[in-house]
Amino acid sequence: MRLITPFDPWRGKLCTCPEKYSFSPYTGCGHKCIYCYITSYIQNAFQPRVKTFTIAQLERELKKLDKNKPISIANSSDPYTPMEAKNMLMREVLPVFIKKGFKLLIVTKSNLVVRDADILSKGRVCVSITITTLEEKIAKRLEPNAPPPIMRLKALETLSKMGVPTAIRLDPIIPGVNDATASIRALLEAACKAGVKQVTTSTYKAKPDSLSRLVKTFPELDEYIRSLYSKGERIGRSTYLPRELRRELILKVREVAQELSMDFATCREGFPELHTAATCDSSHLL
């Protein structure tokens, strides 16, 4: 089985990503975010396992790939899942990609990425860190095993100062949980101050298992959230919020991003006309 594959989010018609590759050193993720969609197609998704591969195998695959297309690490797991602190796989694989001249898009929810700043700063690399809110108590309920948002913010600041382009993913926005304008503003202002160039956002796309985790974690919002999604639209294998509400939520983020002169994009929402960033995945920052 190939380790590096063309990125293809289920041939999603709303995906605006430029062509790129996808690589993940892990199957599954230990951050256990309640809204995570990987539980719908990966068995024991919250019990991450190291993929079996060798550096020689990785090098063989790289020989056949187009260096103009970036490699995204990772999409169906987090490369800095908690067990990476001990495993240090990223410290082994990053130099291989960088030495061969590949551009990298690192997507994570962990400040552990800073451990590898010495390597990242030597390559053409952009680091996107997901932060859904700066409110610690809400973040703990949403992302129980991920580092606190303030540490993620600090990681963005450190990387930005070292010249590594950074972006935040305010992803997903969940009505009643993290959609207050004041909370969005506080997050974007802090990110901007940390040197972050871009924000990419999206709304929560419901799947039966993640929805049941969500309402179990926020029982006070059960009725409200279910009623919103019952009026939503089915796109691909997910249920989206009604289009008008999605647009309203996304415009809230866009307005603040524009005030702060940050690049803005959405992820699989169907509003590409609202993007001010050249790419939704920040590959233009590479």
**Which residues here bind ligand SF4, judged by CB under 6 A?**
29, 31-33, 36, 38, 77-78, 109
| Closest distance of CB 81 from ligand SF4, Å | 7
Taking the least distance from each CB to ligand SF4, the nearer of 77 and 200 is 77
Taking the least distance from each CB to ligand SF4, the nearer of 143 and 179 is 143
- CA quadruple 97, 74, 20, 161: dihedral sign: negative
| Closest distance of CB 48 from ligand SF4, Å | 8
Taking the least distance from each CB to ligand SF4, the nearer of 78 and 116 is 78
CB proximity list for 253: less than 8 A, separation 6 or greater: 170, 173, 184, 188, 199, 201, 264
Look up tokens 């809110």; give the residue: 133
Spatial distance between the Cα atoms of 35 and 45, rounded to a whole number of angstroms: 13
| Closest distance of CB 109 from ligand SF4, Å | 4
Taking the least distance from each CB to ligand SF4, the nearer of 124 and 152 is 152
Contact 79, 60 (CB under 8 A): no
| Closest distance of CB 8 from ligand SF4, Å | 17
| Closest distance of CB 146 from ligand SF4, Å | 6
Taking the least distance from each CB to ligand SF4, the nearer of 32 and 205 is 32
Taking residue 219's Cβ as centre, other Cβ atoms within 10 Å add up to 8
